[in-house]
Structure 1
Amino acid sequence: MPLRHVRTGPGPVPQHAQQHLVRMRDGVRLATDVYLPEATGTTGTTEITGTTGTTGTTGTTEGDAAHLGAGPGFPAVLVRLPYDKNSRYVYFDKIAALFTARGYAMVVQDVRGKFRSEGQTLPFLREPDDGYDTIDWIIRQPWSDGLVGMFGDSYYGFTQWAAVAAEHPALRAIVPRVTTVNFNATAQSSPDEAVGRPVWLEGIEYYAHFWVDQDAHEYEPDRSLRPVIEQYEEAFRVIGARSAWFDAVAPRYTDLLPALGRHPFDARPVPVLHCIGWFDNIVIPHLRDYLELAARPGWDAVQYLWAGAMDHENYRLEHAPVTAENDHATNEDALARALPDYAHPALDFFDVFLKGTRPVSTLPKVKWQLGHGDWRTATAWPPPEARERTFWLSRPERAPGPLPGGTLTDAPDAPDGGQSRAQWAYDPAAPVPSLAPNSFACLQSYPDLAPVAEREDVLAFSGPVQRAPLDLAGPITLHLYVTSTAPRYDVFAKLLDLSPSGQAHVIARGEVSVRGDLAPEEVRIDLGHTGYRLRSGHRLALTVASSDYPMFLPASGTDDNPWTTLTAKPSTQTLRTGGASPSRLTVSALSQRGS
C-alpha cells in the first residue's frame, strides 16, 4: 500500500497581529508577528531591518534610535518556534491576548527554514545568532522599552537556551517549558557508553516529520520494512525532500552542544522559571538542567521551578484519559479553560523580572503539584522534608506473568541469604507494545498497562496495599543486577500505580542501553522525579522489559546498528536479586505511612 502523506503549510496571520520579515545578519528574513497592547498596534506585513542595518525591499525602517533599558514602551516576550506561529496547534493568537492584557508586547517568530521564514531547514545550529538578532531588532522598535523575556515549550524552550548562550544584554528572563538544553542527548547515546540510552525512535522520527522543509508532514511509516532506516527513505521519496537533521542523527549519535559555541550554562546568568510536567517524556533531562543550575554559583539565586502533573502536550492528570470535553487540541472551550493556567505562571514571573511591578518575594522558589493531591510550595527541589524509601525486589520467580507478580518489600533479604533470579526474553519480532500512541500526549490516552505485565517477556513486581496515602516527591531510581545473552541490550522500567480494580497506570519510567562487556555488575536506571500521591488501597508496581515499541527502536541483539540491521536477534536477560545482589527500587516520599 502506498504511504499516505499529509502536508501542512502556514495558517493565516491573525488580523490583530502585524507580521514583519526581520532580516538576520546573513540576509535571511524570518517571519515575525507582533502583538501589542490595545490601541498601539497596526496590521499588515512589512520587511524590517535587523542588526545589519540594511533596508528591506519595501524601503520600510523602524527603530533607528535603539535603546537598552527600561523606557516608555512595553517589555517584549519573544517566542521562536518551528510549528507555524499562526497554527491552531500553538494557538499564539489566543496566548498573545493574555500577555498584551498584562501590558506586554508578544513577538512570535517562525524559526529559520520553517513556514513563512526563509533559510535552510536545519534545526538548532543557527538559533543563537538568530535569537540575538531578533532581540536586537525588538529593542530598536518604538514600542519597545528595551527589555526582553522569552517563553515557550519544547523546541521553543531550546531557542531560549540558544539565546542565553548568545548573551544579548536585553534578554532579562526566560520561561522554558517541558524542554532541555540538549535534545540530541534525549534521543540516543554514544555506542561507546557502558550504560547509555536506547534509541528513542519517536524522538528521532520527529525530525522526519517537522524538519524536512518549510512545511510539516504527517505520515505513518510502514513499520514492516527492513532495515528500519528504509521506512524513512520511503517517506522522503514520497515527500520529494529529505530531512538533513534526520540524516545527521539517524543512524548515528551526534553531540549537539559543541555546535552552539558557548554552552548556555556558561553564559551570563538570567532568571529562569523551569516549567516541567511529571508525565513529560523529557522530564528527566529538564530536571537535570534545573538541578545543575540550582547548584551553580551565579545561577543558583535566580532558578525557579514550576512542576505540574501534566505531559508534554499539556494534558493534565486530573483529566486523564482525556475526553472530548477536556481536549484543548480540538475543543475551543477546553482551550479557553486551559490557557490561564498555561500563561499565568510566566506572566507572574515576568512581572517580577521584566516589569518590576511585583517583588521577588512573591515568587516561591518551587511550586509543585502532587498528582491526585494539591499544589504546594517548597524552598528547594526535592522538598527538604522528603526522605528516601527503598523497596527490595523479592520473589522473582513470580515476576513473569500478570500483576501483582513478584514483591516489592520494605526489608532486604539477609546479606548471607540465598540469591534468586528470574529471566525474561527479548524477541525483536514481537516487541513489547508501548500502548500509548504518542508519548508526548501520554495522559490523553492514559492506557492501562496491566495487560502488558501479563506477557512472558515482562517482569512485574508489586508492593503492599497502601493503608494510607503515600506521597512521592523527588527522584526515583532502580538498581538491577542484570545480564544478557546479547552483547548489547535494553532495559525498560516503568513505575506503576496498581489500583484496586487491577488497572495499572504509569507514574514514571526510565530506560537504559547496556553494553555487556563494559557494564558494571549493578545497573542504575534513572526514572526521573515525580510528585504523586499513591492513594489508599493502591499499590506501587514495577515492570521490567527489553523493548517498548514503537516508542523505542528495538535493539539488534548484536553489535550491529539497529537502524540498518536486517535481522535482529532474540536474547534472554537474567535478573538476580537478594543476598549479594540486592536489586531495589528507591523513591522519595513525604510520608512513610501506609504499609
Structure 2
Amino acid sequence: MRDGVRLATDVYLPEPSAGADQATYPAVLIRLPYDKNSRYVFVDGIARRFTARGYALVVQDVRGKFRSGGTTLPFLQEPQDGYDSIDWITHQAWSDGRVGMFGDSYYGFTQWAAVAARHPALRAIVPRMTSADFNRIWKAAGPGQPDPPVWLEGVEYFAHHWIDNDTYDYEPDRTRRPVIDQYEQAFRAIGARSLWFDLLAPRHAGMPTRLGPDPFDALPVPVLHCVGWYDNIGAAHMRDHAELASRPAWAATQYLWAGAVDHENYWLGHAPVADEDDHNADEAALERMLPGYTDPAIEFFDVFLKEDRPATDLPRVRWELGHQGWRTAEAWPPPGSDTRTFWLADPATAAHALPGGALTRTPPTEERSAQWVHDPDEPVPSLVENSFAHLHTHPDFAPVAAREDVLAFTAPASSGPLDLAGPVTVEVHVTSTAPVFDVFAKLLDLAPDGDARLIVRGQVSAEATVGSDEAISIDLGHTGYRLRHGHRLALILAASDFPLYLPTTGTGENPWTAVTTKPGTQTLRTGGVHPSRLTLTVLPPSASPC
C-alpha cells in the first residue's frame, strides 16, 4: 500500500491456452476480513468458476486481518487500500487493465469504498448482502425517523472479530451487569481490545457519521445489487438500491438480484436446513450452491468487464418469489404492483396465542387498546442464535406469539395465493410508561398446522415524548413471498428481542452501563382516530387472487 503496509493477496489465473503467448485477463477483486484461505469463504470454489470463464480472481485479507499487516480497524482505510490494490492489479503482466469487484457483507462494503476512491480501472461491482454505508444499519433510515434498537449481535461482531489479526470465539456471561463488563472481561482475558467496539458501545465516543467518502458522489459504475429477502441487513441494502435508482446519473447502471436467501446464503427452499444441504459443512452442498452464488456475477461481468455480451441480455431486476420461483421485471417493485392495508383490530385478544387479535381489510370505527409489560430481566427470546443464518433454523414463532408480553394479530386464511413483492411497513400507536422503549414487529406466515414462520421483520426505538396521536412507523424491509392457499398473515409486536438486541432498561439509563432495571407497560391503540395498520406491496389480484 501507499504507506508501505503489505496486504496478503492470492491470485488465481485461468489455464493458459497451449502454445499461446502471455495472456491477459480482466480481474475480479475480493477484499475480505475473514481469512482468504478459510473454508468459511470458499474462495477456491469461487476461483474455479471465475477462472473457467476467463477471469483472473484476486483475493486479499484486508489491513490488520489474518496475514495482512497494519492496524486492525474496519472501514476507514478501505478506500485508499482498495484504490492501491486495483492499481497494483493493472500493473501485472496478466492484467488487461479492467477490474471488477465481488463479495458479501464487509467485502461488499470494500467495493463501495473502492468506488469512492475512483480508480479508472474499476468497471463494475457486485456487492452482496451489504450496504455502502454501515451507518444505515445503526442509524435512522431517514431524517426525522427514529433510530433502531441496539443491535447487540452486530456490536458483538466487532468485539469478536476486530480485535487484532485473529478472531476470538467466546460466550459472554449474559447475566452479568453492567452489560459492558461482559466484554471487558473478555478483552482482559485476550489481552487486547476492539477499538471499533469502543466506538459503538454508547459510553464511548460514538460511531463516525460517515465511514469515508460517499461513493454515491463518485462517477457511476454498473452495479449488480445482490439482496436476500432474509438478510438481516437487507433493508439497508434495498435503501442503497432505491437511492441510486432515483439518481439520474446512476439509474441506468443499477441492476437488482434478489433471492429468498439469508446473509449466509441459506435458501428458503431448504429451510430449516438439513445437514446434507448445509453448504458451510457439506462439500456436495457447497458445490450445489456455488452456481447460484457466482453465475449472476459472472454474467454481469461478461457484459461490463469483457464486453462480449450486450447489456440488453441482462434483466434489470431478477427476483425470487418465495415458494414459487424466479421472475424478471423492469423495476422494483414490479410494475403493476399495488399496496394493500390490513388494520389491527380486536386488541383485547391480542395478548393470547395465535390467532390473537385480527388483521382486517376495513379500519375499526371504535378505538380499542391493549397493554403488555416489558420486563428487561425476562425479555422476549430471539429464538435464533445467529440472525445472519436465520434460515438455517427458520424457527416457529408461535410459542413467542403466545407470551403475555407479545401482541399478535392474524388475517383470515387466504383463499388463493397472495404474492408480496415490495416494501412492508407497520404504523402503530404505542406509548409506554418507560422513558425509552423499543417496538419489534415480525410478519409471519401462519400455516394451517399452526406453525408461524418469519417473512420480514423491523424494529424501532422510541421515547416517551412520542404522543398517543403520533404513530410509530416501522420499516420491515422488502420481500418477494407467496402466501399460499389456506395460510394466514400474522403480525406480532413485542418490546424486546434478546439476545439479538440489547433490551431497554425501563429507567432511561444507558443499557450498556445500567445496573438496575424497571418493567415498563406499553399501550397499543387502534381504531377510530388512532388506526394502527400493516401495509404490504402485492402483485395485481389478477396474478395473485386472495
Bucket of the pairwise TM-score, normalised by the shorter protein:
over 0.9
Q: 1:502 to 1:180 in 2, by over 3 A?
A: same
Per-residue deviation at 1:594? 4.9
Paired residues for 1:379-458 under 5 Å: 379-413=330-364, 417-458=365-406
The separation in 2 between residues aligned to 1:161 and 1:361, in whole angstroms, is 25
- Alignment partner of 1:540 is 2:489: yes
Q: Is the 8 A contact 2:367 2:528 kept in 1?
A: yes
Amino acid paired to 1:131: G
The separation in 1 between residues aligned to 2:209 and 2:298, in whole angstroms, is 30
Q: 1:189 to 1:199 in 2, by over 3 A?
A: farther
Per-residue deviation at 1:337? 0.4
Amino acid paired to 2:210: P
Q: 1:396 to 1:594 in 2, by over 3 A?
A: farther
Q: Is the 8 A contact 1:309 1:369 kept in 2?
A: yes
SS at match of 1:215: coil
Q: Is the 8 A contact 1:310 1:317 kept in 2?
A: yes
- Alignment partner of 1:30 is 2:11: no
Amino acid paired to 2:167: A
The separation in 2 between residues aligned to 1:146 and 1:591, in whole angstroms, is 47
Per-residue deviation at 1:237? 1.3
SS at match of 1:471: strand
Q: Which range moved further: 193-202 or 458-467?
A: 193-202
Q: Is the 8 A contact 1:189 1:253 kept in 2?
A: no
The separation in 1 between residues aligned to 2:294 and 2:145, in whole angstroms, is 42
The aligned residue for residue 557 of structure 1 is 506
Percent same amino acid at aligned positions? 64
Q: 1:249 to 1:373 in 2, by over 3 A?
A: same
2:526 to 569, 577, 586: 577
Per-residue deviation at 1:217? 1.0
- Alignment partner of 1:495 is 2:472: no
> Deviations along 1:529-565, whole A, 9 cap, x unmatched?
1000000010000000000000000012122111111
The separation in 1 between residues aligned to 2:153 and 2:188, in whole angstroms, is 20
Amino acid paired to 2:473: R
> Deviations along 1:31-64, whole A, 9 cap, x unmatched?
0000000148xxxxxxxxxxxxxxxxxxxxxxxx
> Deviations along 1:52-95, whole A, 9 cap, x unmatched?
xxxxxxxxxxxxxxxxxxx9610000000000000000010110
Paired residues for 1:358-373 under 5 Å: 358-373=309-324
Amino acid paired to 2:399: P
SS at match of 1:216: coil
The separation in 1 between residues aligned to 2:478 and 2:330, in whole angstroms, is 17
Paired residues for 1:184-583 under 5 Å: 184-187=135-138, 195-251=146-202, 254-256=206-208, 258-260=210-212, 262-413=213-364, 417-517=365-465, 521-583=470-532
The separation in 2 between residues aligned to 1:428 and 1:293, in whole angstroms, is 40
Amino acid paired to 1:537: G
Per-residue deviation at 1:256? 4.0
Q: 1:307 to 1:256 in 2, by over 3 A?
A: farther
TM-score, structure 1 as length reference: 0.88
Amino acid paired to 1:316: W
The aligned residue for residue 156 of structure 1 is 107
Amino acid paired to 1:116: R
Paired residues for 1:20-169 under 5 Å: 24-39=1-16, 73-169=24-120
The separation in 2 between residues aligned to 1:409 and 1:305, in whole angstroms, is 33
The separation in 2 between residues aligned to 1:341 and 1:382, in whole angstroms, is 22
The separation in 1 between residues aligned to 2:361 and 2:536, in whole angstroms, is 12
SS at match of 1:310: strand
Aligned residues: 538
Q: Calculate the aligned-residue CA RMSD, in Å.
A: 1.6
TM-score, structure 2 as length reference: 0.96
The separation in 2 between residues aligned to 1:442 and 1:292, in whole angstroms, is 27
Q: Is the 8 A contact 2:115 2:122 kept in 1?
A: yes
Amino acid paired to 2:7: L
The answer for unaligned runs of 5 or more in structure 1 is: 1-23, 41-70
Per-residue deviation at 1:196? 1.4
Q: 1:257 to 1:347 in 2, by over 3 A?
A: farther
Per-residue deviation at 1:176? 0.1
The separation in 2 between residues aligned to 1:189 and 1:431, in whole angstroms, is 24
Q: Is the 8 A contact 1:188 1:253 kept in 2?
A: no
SS at match of 1:30: coil
- Alignment partner of 1:174 is 2:151: no
The separation in 2 between residues aligned to 1:431 and 1:350, in whole angstroms, is 47
The separation in 2 between residues aligned to 1:82 and 1:254, in whole angstroms, is 23
SS at match of 1:339: helix
Per-residue deviation at 1:189? 5.6
